[in-house]
Amino acid sequence: MFSLFYGLWKYLFSKTEFHVLILGIDKAGKTTLLEKLKSLYSNLEGLPPDRIVPTVGLNIGRVEVLNTKLVFWDLGGQPGLRSIWEKYYEEAHAVVFVIDAACPSRFEDSKSALEKVLRHEDLQGAPLLILANKQDLSEAVTAEELARYLDLKKLDERVYMFEAVSAFDGTGIKQGAEWLVEVMERSKRTEMLRNRAGVAGP
Ligand SMILES: Nc1nc2c(ncn2[C@@H]2O[C@H](COP(=O)(O)OP(=O)(O)OP(=O)(O)O)[C@@H](O)[C@H]2O)c(=O)[nH]1
Ligand SMILES: [Mg+2]
C-alpha cells in the first residue's frame, strides 16, 4: 500500500528526470560532448579535451536544460564495449548518436552500429538525435550530407533530428539539447516509462 502511494506521490510531485544515452563508435566525440554539456549547462567546468581518455566504463553527467533535469549516460564505443550499450536501453528516454563527420572512412561502421540500436526493441519509440560532430574541422560533412549517406530505413515513426555540432567549440549543442527536452516531454516513450515507474513504486 505504502509503495502504491509513494509511487503516486513520486509521479505527481517529483520533477521528472530524463535519461539520455550517448552512443556512437569509438572516437566519435561522445565524452567530449558530455564535458561540453556540463560546461554549457552546469556550474561545473567540464574536462578539457586534452584530458579525456577513451571510455571503458560509464560517464554520467547531470545538467539542467530549459528547467528540466537530464542525466546523460556516456558509454565506450570501442567494438568490444558496444555489447554493454543494451543494458541501458530499457531506462533511456532518448538517444544521442554521435558521428565523426570528418571521418568518412568510418561512416559505414557508424551506420551499422546505429541500425543495430534502432532495431532493438528496448528502445522502441525513443527520440533520436544524430550529431554530425567535429564541424570545426574543414573536412567535416554537413548534417544533410551525413543523413544522405546513412540513408536510414529503420526510423519508422521515431522522432529524430540530425544536427551539425562541434563538441570542441560548442556549435549546435544547445540547439540539440533543447530539441531533445522538447520532444522527450511529449513523447509516448516518456509516458510509458512514467507509467511503469508509477506502477512499480520506488
Ligand atoms: N576537432 C574536433 N575533435 C574532436 C571533437 N570532439 C571530439 N574530438 C576529438 O576526438 C577524439 C575522441 O574523442 P572522445 O570524446 O574521447 O570520443 P568518444 O566517442 O568518447 O570515444 P570512446 O570513449 O572511445 O567511445 C579526441 O581526440 C577528441 O579530442 C570535435 O568536435 N572537434
Ligand atoms: Mg568516451
What single DSSP character describes residue 183?
H
Confirm if 117 and 85 have CB atoms less than 8 A apart. Answer: yes
Q: Is the CB of 54 under 6 A from ligand 1?
A: yes
CA of 195 to the centre of ligand 1 (A): 37
> Can you give the pLDDT at residue 179?
98
Closest CA to 61 of 32, 85, 102: 32
> Angle CA(175)–CA(176)–CA(179) in degrees, nearest 5?
85
How many Å apart are CA 99 and CA 114, to the nearest integer? 10
C-beta of 110 in contact with ligand 1 (< 6 A): no
Ligand with smallest separation from the Cα of 35? 1
Q: Which domains does the chain have, with CATH numbers?
A: 14-200 (3.40.50.300)
Res 12 pLDDT > 70: no
- Please report the ipTM that was assigned to this predicted complex: 0.99
29 assigned to a ligand binding site: yes
What is the set of active-site residues? 78
Is the overall model pTM greater than 0.80, yes or no?
Answer: yes
- Please name which ligand lies nearest the alpha carbon of 76: 1
29-74: per-residue pLDDT in tens? 999 999 999 999 998 888 999 999 999 999 999 999 999 999 999 9
Q: Report pLDDT for 14.
A: 58
- Cβ atoms of residues 42 and 62 within 8 Å: yes
Out of 22, 27, 59, mutate this one to test ligand 1's pocket (max ligand atoms within 8 Å of CB): namely 27
Instruction: Outline where 21-172 has alpha helix (H).
Output: 30-41, 107-119, 143-150
Residue 67 assigned to a binding site: no
Average pLDDT, whole number, for the chain?
Answer: 92
Q: Which atom of ligand 1 is nearest to the CA of 167?
A: 31
